[in-house]
Amino acid sequence: MSALVEVDDLVVRYGPAVAVDGVSLTLGAGERVALIGANGAGKSSLLNAVCGVVRPAGGKVRIAGDDVTGKTPNHVVRRGLTQVPEGRQVFPSLPVEANLLLGAFGRSFRTEIATSTLRYLRRRADARERLERVYTLLPKLHELRDRPAGRTSGGEQQMVAIGRALMAEPRALAIDELSLGLAPMVVEQLVEFLHRLNDEEHVAILLVEQNALLAFDLCERAYVLETGRVVLQGESADIRDRPEVHSAYLGDGPG
């Protein structure tokens, strides 16, 4: 069974720094997989290379069997993988509903705008239906639909970003730093939601997280990154108590 997302030996460089040094991973359909590691371990660079934001210096990325290495994010979105970026990155001037609809528009987009717009307009009914579904999954968004996204709280923005990604009808969701800057209670609610999403909609989840404990709670499998390499991988239950994970997050022993 070929996985939904396959990454082979990926290399990402920024000038002299090698951010990702030959990483391979897989995400199966409907799976929940975590990428954990300290700041600067290369997690975000890896995600950005997979999603087409940066061009990898080496290696391959396949989504549902199609080679998307080095292609634009639009290609990746159309193959079924959307990213919820670090820091949410909503469109602050636009109301929440517009943010969401743009998620669908992006999915209809090709290289050329006229046909893309026509395609979107023809499928408007579908987009509206999808919007209703997202509102059902995230009722708070319905409440906030006319509010400029810039005037919502951090947790609400995270919901907007997730909702926007869901509008593209993804088979897999890549989330970059879910818990960043959010209160623990809010994070808990989001984790619950993602669990349900995965159960009900069978959307696979690739979660990049600094908070290892949270990642293990949500995801069945995990890869631990350190300075651009995978140092440990396996079932969350097996590896969560391993010393490598502990020392990465909690330091060495007492004092």
Partner 1 sequence: MAAASSSLPAETTRQPACELSGVTKAFGAVKAVDDVSLDVAASSLTCLIGPNGAGKSTLLGCISGLHLLDSGVVRIEGRDVTRWPPHRRARHGLATVFQTTRPLAELDVLDNAAVGAHVRSRTGFVESMLRPPWQWREQQRVREEAREALAVIGLEDRAAHPAAVLPLGQLRLLAIARALAQRPSVLLLDEPAAGLRAGEKAHLVEALRTLSRRGLTMVLVEHDMQFVGALAERVVVLDRGRVIADGTPAEVRNDPQVVTAYLGSTTL
Partner 2 sequence: MTEFLQLVVVGLSTGSAFALVGMSLVLVFRTTGIVNFAQGVFVVIGGLFTFQLSDDMPLAVASLVSVLLAAFLSSLVALVAVGFRDRTTSLASTIITLGVAFLAQALLLLEFGDIPRSYPGISDRAWDIGGVLVQPQYVLIAGVAILCAVALTLFLRRTIVGQALVACSDSRRAAELVGLNIRSLAIVAFAGAGALSALGGALLAPSSPMTYSSDVAITVNGFAAAVFGGLGSIRLALLGGYALGILEQLVVGYIDPQYSLIIALIVMLVLIGWRSRAEIASASHEAHAAIRRARVPWPAPIRIGLIVAGAVFACWLPYQLSTFDVALYDRMGLYALVTIGLTLLMGYAGQISLGQGAFFLIGAYTSAILTVGIDPGTRLVDPAAGISPVLAVLAAPVVAAVVAAAIGVPLLRLHGHYLAFATLALHLIAFSVLSAWDRFTGGQYGISVTKPLTVFGHDLRGPLHAAVVWGVVAVALLLATNLVHSRVGRALQAIASDEASAAASGIPVASYKLRLFIVAAALAGLGGGMFTFSFLIVSPDAFPIVLSIEFVVMVAVGGLGNMYGAVAGAVAILYLEQKLRDLGAKPALFGWDLPDAAPTVFSFGVFGLILIAIMLFFPGGLLPALGDATAGVWARIRSARRPVTTS
**Interface positions with partner 2 (CB under 8 A):** 51, 53, 55, 72-74, 77-78, 82-83, 85, 89-94, 98, 101-103, 105-107, 109-113, 116-117, 120-121, 164-165, 168
Q: Of partner 1, partner 2, none, which one does residue 254 interact with (CB within 5 to 8 Å by kind)?
A: partner 1
Residues in contact with partner 1, shown as a per-residue x/- string from 229 to 248 under the rule CB under 8 A: ------------------xx
Q: Is 19 in the site for partner 1 (CB under 8 A)?
A: yes
Pick the closer one to partner 2 by CB: 82 or 179: 82
Q: Of partner 1, partner 2, none, which one does residue 62 interact with (CB within 5 to 8 Å by kind)?
A: none
Contact 139, 199 (CB under 8 A): no
HSE-CB of 61 using CA atoms within 13 angstroms? 27
Q: How far apart are CA 94 and CA 28, in angstroms?
A: 35
What residues numbered 176-205 form the site for partner 1, per CB under 8 A? 177, 179-181, 184, 187-188
Q: Is 20 in the site for partner 1 (CB under 8 A)?
A: no
Q: Of partner 1, partner 2, none, which one does residue 106 interact with (CB within 5 to 8 Å by kind)?
A: partner 2
CB of 208 to partner 2, least distance (A): 14
Nearest CA to 71 among 54, 46, 47? Answer: 54
Structure tokens at 55: 């061009």
Nearest CA to 85 among 41, 60, 51? Answer: 51
Residue 85 CA: distances (Å) to CA of 16, 147, 170, 185, 234: 25, 21, 15, 20, 25
Pick the closer one to partner 2 by CB: 42 or 103: 103
Nearest CA to 157 among 202, 95, 250, 219? Answer: 95
Q: What are phi and psi of 66, to 5 degrees?
A: -90, 135
Pick the closer one to partner 2 by CB: 152 or 236: 152
CB of 114 to partner 1, least distance (A): 38
Q: How far apart are CA 165 and CA 178, in angstroms?
A: 13
Q: Is 11 in the site for partner 1 (CB under 8 A)?
A: no
User: What contacts 174, CB < 8 A, 6 or more positions away?
Assistant: 47, 50, 51, 81, 82, 83, 84, 206, 208
Residues in contact with partner 1, shown as a per-residue x/- string from 92 to 111 under the rule CB under 8 A: --------------------
* Residues of this chain that bind partner 1 (CB under 8 A): 16-19, 38-40, 42, 177, 179-181, 184, 187-188, 210-211, 213-214, 217, 226-227, 247-252, 254-255
